[in-house]
Structure 1
C-alpha cells in the first residue's frame, strides 16, 4: 500500500504540481490532494492511476522493509546499467 507521504514525496522529487499530476492521471486535483493528505485508499482506481504516472516519470515505490530496515519509501529508477568505474578500479589511464 502506498502512503500519502510517498505520494507527496514522489511528486516533489519529480517537481510535478498537483495540476500536472491531475492532468496526466486524468483525475481531479481534489482527488490527488485528498490522497496526499488523508491517505485515503478507498479509491484504488485513482491511486493506481497516480502511481502509474509517477512510475512512468521514473519513481519506484518501496514497501516497508523491502530494501533493508525502515519504513516505506521512494527512489528513482536506475536509468543505466553503467554505474561508471568503481573506485578501486580508478587509475591514471581512466582518470578523466
Structure 2
C-alpha cells in the first residue's frame, strides 16, 4: 500500500484519507496587506464621486485592490450591482451642525 508518507511507511492513513484539520472560519493563506477599512472607504469614494478607479486617492489603498474587492462583492451579492456612480446602495447619514 502506498501511503501519504511514502512506500513502506504506514501511519494508518492511505493516500485518499485527508488528515488535515481545518478550523471553521479560517480562510488560510497570506494575511491581507491592507486592512479592509481604507479599501471600503475608497469604494465609497468612487461610488459617491463617480471618478475612474485609477483616480481614487492613494490613501484608500491601491486602486486595483479596491476595484477587485468591489467587483467580487458585486458578483456575490454583498454590494448591490445596481449601484451607479453618484448613488449609494445604502442611505448616507446626514450630520447636523449645531448653531453656536
Q: TM-score, normalised by structure 1?
A: 0.32
Q: Larger Rg: 1 or 2?
A: 2
Q: Which has the higher helix share?
A: 1
Question: Which has the larger share of strand?
Answer: 1
Structure possessing the higher relative contact order (Cα contacts under 8 Å, 6 or more residues apart): 1
